[in-house]
Homo-oligomer: A and B are copies of this chain.
Amino acid sequence: MKLITRNTDYAMRALCYIARQRERSVPVPEMVAALKIPRPFLRKIVQTLGREGVLRSSKGQGGGFLLALKPEDVRLADLVRIFQGTIQLNECIFKKKICPNRGTCALKREIDGIERDALARLHKVTIASLIRNGKHHD
């Protein structure tokens, strides 16, 4: 199983790169060259980040992307939510009906606890902490 997908990973790389450029507006072609991510795929990713309010974009010559938030406010947990949806148990459906045992289910309780912990830790990882604690991806 995979805890984070490629979307999320690439987004993290791109955001780290953008953060290191300070207030410069960074165009996609530059990121493609620096990060070796396929251009159309990276474009889709940063567009999504724009819609989600993580990046601000400007069009036209000299345009590009820059952080909409402070690096310490961009959290891995948010990226996971954006690209992978909220973490959830198998959600225990039986023929489209929601499970009637949710209240007493011991397994659900355990899994929920593990998920909460994981999310809390993902929440602590920020762009700022990554670019501080050694290099990420070149």
Contact = CB atoms under 8 A, between A and B. Distances in A.
A68 interface: no
Contact of A135 (B4, B101, B117): B101
A3 B89 contact: yes
Interface string A87-100: 11110101000000
Interface residues of A, number: 46
B1 A106 contact: no
Nearest to A138: B101
Interface in A1-51: 1-6, 8-9, 12, 36
A115 B3 CA distance: 8
Interface in A81-126: 84-90, 92, 94, 101, 104-107, 109-111, 113-115, 117-118, 121-122, 125
Complex copy number for this chain: 2
A48 to B, nearest CB: 16
A23 to B, nearest CB: 23
Contacts of A106: 129-131, 133-136
Interface of A: 1-6, 8-9, 12, 36, 76, 80, 84-90, 92, 94, 101, 104-107, 109-111, 113-115, 117-118, 121-122, 125, 129-131, 133-138
8 contacts: A1-B5, A4-B89, A9-B107, A36-B94, A101-B135, A101-B136, A106-B135, A107-B137
